[in-house]
Chain A
């Protein structure tokens, strides 16, 4: 099938501002968008730049804005797209080149919620006990691959510099609701601050954008409820 791709290009060594370039390609319905980007890069224009690695939706490298929605290029098939496709870098972060954005702000926000188990040294032999039901409390948020699709789909992050964003809250949730963790209060302090969960307007863009199917908005609501009712 024939497709026309409009791709937002920006080379900081040449361009004053970004511009769109158009590519006409023939692709199979079962091709991934990433396959088509590779086809353009390998056959036509080697300078087209994007991140990618695993090519099956688990490494989180190739989140980008495809026809206005944040998607992983390796998890979206051509058959699910119209014949005219617009591809842009994620919104809200500085563009490094073409579809590659500067991820520093994203990882800084992630680090701010102390995304690691905080617990006393385990003294006994063997594992800490955790029931299947306790584990189920945070199962959903362990799936995060840090692709930034949710955070850069959130209008609040587009307009404010200091909101930690949905991905950081998801990763805080993963530990706050882990029965083994003892760091909930310090994380909740971060998320109760001006840059925390109260900036969320419950728009559900994050949930819609998540390529892992995480119920991001629900996780944010659970953190809000924990703050209001101290139910952890």
Chain B
């Protein structure tokens, strides 16, 4: 076992984690833990853009961006946080440019901007060009740029360390983490004054997802096991345009640049549901439109997909602005987007929910927003909440840059008066016990294999807890997940070695996914209304009287407990959402 001591430890080296670390570089002793190499983080998969009301190509104002964020989130957004997001986005984008991010440019050399779903001028009048972008690999450029800054600032990277546990002192202060070094299997205890969880989302709960295989919610689940609540887990975004069957993301930029969704009759059906914004209505709505078209038998060839049509766009525009998107269609489906429709279906994409935080990234533990001492979260693992019931396209990148930065700054300021909390006795105990159990248990019989448990979970979550849910489907999923959790306690891995044991880490990740699934279902069952991405076929309307509230789910020894937390409303009174 190895022991380290740092002022702060950051778990996850995607956009949020790196942005936080860069704030502290040179001023505090910070460890950055990643189960991958940092540039492999899933931030790199983001394609379309990062919104900021720069007004470079047409008039724009951060308050419009704030309004769109609130409305897009079906009024479950905390408006103080949305104001921070929209206002600081401008400065954050400039900061990225100063770090070297190669944005596309306007003819006069400014950062170019394009349209994106749900982003409008003058409080909903029509689409606005707000998304700053670098071709259709904006996330790639962000992760590369931040990693470059990490190297420049000589951050202490713990690459390929798998998060095993989050440590708390006896009086409840977060005081470090336990990791397993992949290349040796050695356990590391990293003692720190504060911890930032920036481990991203958990799309691998579902069978069709745009998420990386590494998107298994480790930080969220492990912290949740330690008694910290998770918030708004029932709000999980299905992106409308996943590559058919594979779930690989085709950016909304494809529609921002003029792409149109068509059913088997060739009808541009979005216009029927959302007459103003059409194909650029928010994602939850477009996913539901597609779902409804398929249910009505209007999927292509009667199957469960529709076409994303780019054939009317100038070929040179496709090459210049959507090179990766079209490359995915060619590589994986053998479809030429310049001449034929691309088969797409909704794909599990983004967790609006996660560890509840305030606007400085401090994780909070109750409806009164009491911070958990020493614990922070930012990015997709966190729920500030700026996305409410449905995140707008590009706002994930805004979120991780703005709130990663705020968390880093707050941690740095707090370090001045922070004390060392003692580690709990035997800090490695829980981590070691979970490894020992998976390695030593007898070889699993059928039904207790890690891969079987995982695929059963993914199928039931896709069938029963996706674009549409009901009490019946949710109860069915709840029962299945409970059985799988039982089976998981008997599961074991085939690979018993210490060096780079990915059989073991996949098993550990499955444990995290099951916890994320459990909390998602619990929240979805409780919330008897439809709002944003959470659509209940048995409660089809929004219920502001009872449910204009965040849900908190706690894992306790007596089972799961649910609490409500009020939504912060400052400027925009909830209204019906129309586009």
Contacts and interface: CB of A to CB of B under 8 A. Distances in A.
Task: Indicate whether A and B interact.
Answer: yes
Interface size class of B (residues with CB under 8 A): 35 or more
B331 A116 contact: no
Q: With a 10 A CB-CB cut-off, give which of B40, B106, B135 has the most chain A CB atoms.
A: B40
A47 B144 contact: no
A54 B37 contact: no
B243 to A, nearest CB: 8
B213 to A, nearest CB: 6
B37 A146 contact: yes
Nearest to B107: A132
A59 B44 contact: yes
Interface string A48-60: 0110111111111
Interface residues of A, number: 61
B499 A11 contact: yes
Interface in B317-351: 324, 328, 331-334
A57 B246 CA distance: 13
A161 interface: no
A54 B140 CA distance: 12
Interface in A85-110: 96-97, 100, 102-103, 107
Interface string B492-513: 0111011111110000000000
A69 to B, nearest CB: 16
A178 to B, nearest CB: 7
B382 interface: no
A145 B44 contact: yes
A159 interface: no
Contacts of A230: none
A52 B141 CA distance: 20
B214 interface: yes
Nearest to B151: A111
A46 B494 contact: yes
A10 to B, nearest CB: 10
A122 to B, nearest CB: 5
A138 B104 CA distance: 12
B42 A53 contact: yes
Contacts of A132: 104-107
B437 interface: no
A32 to B, nearest CB: 8
A43 B451 CA distance: 8
Contacts of B137: 58, 143
Nearest to A56: B248
Contacts of A126: 54, 94, 110
B149 A116 contact: yes
B532 to A, nearest CB: 26
Interface in B180-231: 183, 212-214
27 contacts: A11-B499, A46-B450, A47-B495, A49-B500, A49-B501, A49-B503, A52-B213, A56-B246, A57-B331, A58-B324, A61-B36, A96-B500, A97-B497, A107-B37, A111-B151, A116-B149, A116-B152, A119-B100, A122-B98, A125-B94, A126-B94, A126-B110, A127-B98, A129-B110, A131-B107, A131-B109, A143-B140
Interface of B: 36-37, 39-42, 44-45, 54, 94, 97-100, 102-111, 134-135, 137, 140-141, 144, 148-149, 151-152, 183, 212-214, 246, 248, 324, 328, 331-334, 449-451, 493-495, 497-503
Interface of A: 11-14, 30, 32, 41-43, 45-47, 49-50, 52-61, 75, 77, 96-97, 100, 102-103, 107, 111, 114-117, 119, 121-122, 125-132, 134-135, 138-139, 142-146, 175, 178, 180-181
Given A42-B451, A127-B111, A129-B108, 9 more contacts: A13-B497, A59-B39, A116-B99, A116-B151, A117-B99, A131-B109, A135-B104, A135-B105, A142-B102
